[in-house]
Each structure stands twice: as structure tokens, then as C-alpha cells.
Chains A and B, each alone.
Chain A
Amino acid sequence: QVQLVESGGGVVQPGRSLRVSCAASGFRFNGYGMHWVRQAPGKGLEWVAVIGHDGTYQNYVDTVKGRFTISRDNFKNTLYLEMNSLSAEDTAVYYCARDLGKGKFFDYWGQGVLVTVSS
């Protein structure tokens, strides 16, 4: 069965960096695009970034462009999100999600990892 397991969250000071990971199993990882979606505490969902199946295509929401980098290692079946210059507005649960197809929707989600930006 499809499994996505995030890790690497925690408390980080404003302006610092953090990398979260998502380990995938139960499907052919290198055949799917992958996304990061975040949810601030008590708020709605915000799409953050997408990466193509082979890593050659990335796209970001404007609020993280230039600060966040999505990447993947298809040998390790792992998705990453490198987050730099973090601010309180980046505090959220970060979910990795598999692309259903054509970059439009998300058919499987991880359980999420909490990133808290605070001094």
C-alpha cells in the first residue's frame, strides 16, 4: 500500500533553515510527481511546491519562491523540502502528497510534520 512518511520537523528560529523529508513506499516513486502542501495551525490548506517525476521540473507558490527548494532522490525514494529564511508565517504542518496525474490533484498524503518558527 502507498505510504508517505514525513520527518525532520521541529522548532527553528526565524531566519534559520530546515529540511523536511518524505519517505515513500508501496508504489513506483520515480513514476510520479510529488507535492508539498502546508496547513497553518487551525487554518486551511496551502499548496507549496511540486516536482516532476524525474526532478527536472519544479514550481512554487510565490510566498516561498526563492526561499524553499523541492528536490527528490529517486534511488532513496525520498522527497525533500529545503526551507531557508524561515519566518513565523511558515509555521505549519507540512504534508507531502503524491500527484494523481498531470500535476493537478493529490491522491495520497503523508501524516504531516510540524514546523514551528519561533524565537
Chain B
Amino acid sequence: EIVLTQSPATLSLSPGERATLSCRASQSVSNHLAWYQQKPGQAPRLLIYDASNRATGIAARFSGSGSGTDFTLTISSLEPEDFAIYFCQQGSSRPLTFGGGTNVEIK
């Protein structure tokens, strides 16, 4: 099973600031990595797939990069609605696995 480790666990930032979230895989997943956003009481929403492709309807301020074992989700300028938990997920091998999440909170 591929283990995904996200850091930091919590990111305290102000609106307008840049957010950089990290996801590290225990073995190479090539580019088979996705990012999801989850708000309290809601289902996750797909943001990025195949490491760097924005999903339908996702704002351009969200971008993903990386390959192999190290990946980054960047939010260029935080909007109030971006404060949420972000999960990475690998699609390279079964079982599909998720990282533990990064909570982006308002500073």
C-alpha cells in the first residue's frame, strides 16, 4: 500500500496570501496524483488530477506540480472560500489511498 504524507498538518494564512501544500508518497506514483478540497459537512471536491490538470470549473489560482514521490498544491492568492481541508490521493496502484490532509485555516 502506498502511504501519502501531507505537510504541514495545519497552515494558518490570511486571505490574499499564497498557500503551498505538500504531499509525499512512500514510493513513486508517477503523475497519478489528485488533490481534493473538503469543507465541513460537505463531500470532497476534485481540484487537480494527474498532478497538474485542473478539474472542470476549478479556478486558475489552484495549481498542482510534481511527479514521482513529491507533489505540491499551490493556491496563488487565498480567497475566503478556500479555507478548508485539502487531501491528496494516489491513483497509481490499488488500494487507492489518501493523505491525512492539510487544514488551511484563517490566521
Contacts and interface: CB of A to CB of B under 8 A. Distances in A.
Interface of A: 35, 44-47, 50, 59, 61-62, 95, 100, 102-112
A79 to B, nearest CB: 15
Contacts of A105: 34, 46, 49, 89, 91
Nearest to A109: B43
Interface string B31-64: 0101010000011111001000001100000000
A112 B43 CA distance: 7
Interface centre among B36, B42, B43, B49, by most chain A C-beta atoms within 10 angstroms, is B43
B44 A45 contact: yes
Contacts of B32: 104
B55 to A, nearest CB: 6
A103 B95 contact: no
Nearest to A6: B43
| Interface of chain B: mostly helix, strand, loop or mixed | loop
| Contact residues on B (Cβ < 8 Å of other chain), bracket | 20 to 34
A111 B34 CA distance: 20
A47 B95 contact: yes
Given A103-B91, A105-B89, A107-B55, A47 B98 contact: yes
Contacts of A50: 96
Contact of B89 (A45, A61, A108, A110): A45
A44 B96 contact: no
A62 B99 contact: no
Contacts of B42: 111
Nearest to B99: A44
B83 interface: no
Contacts of A109: 43-45
B67 interface: no
Given A104-B32, A107-B55, A44 B87 contact: yes
